[in-house]
Amino acid sequence: MNVGGIDSGRIEAMMAQLKAAATKPTGAPVAPVGAGETPAAKVNFSDALKSSLEQVSGAQLKSEELGHKFAMGDDSVSLSDVMISMQKASIGFQATVQVRNKMVSAYHEMMNMQV
């Protein structure tokens, strides 16, 4: 099963890694998914956030474009394609708003900490 570009095998591997990390003592290194592969480059948080925002923006633009094509009578675009695209864009936007809310909440918590 393919869920948003990640197959179920990778999801299960990630879950196994999380369970293994939960049982290991603090400070013990966790083997990356696909331990036999070369180590992945470190991901900068700002780059990951920017990439995610670009993906959400791209989904919204694609959805809008499909909607315009369907409204103009393009036979290559079906109503189901338009609706699915709109729902994907909506879910991505809602997830982005939730991440933003969590980040603002964490920022406020950090600013209220006494040093």
Structure tokens at 43: 């991901």
pLDDT digits (tens, 9 = 90+) for 73-96: 999 999 999 999 999 999 999 999
Share of the chain above pLDDT 90, in %: 53
Predicted pLDDT at 104: 94
Predicted pLDDT at 80: 93
Angle between helical axes of 45-71 and 79-112 (0-180°, round to 10)? 150
pTM of structure: 0.58
Averaged pLDDT score across all residues of the chain: 82
Give the residue extent of every domain in the chain.
1-40, 43-115
Q: What is the dihedral of CA 89, 4, 34, 28, to 10 degrees?
A: 50
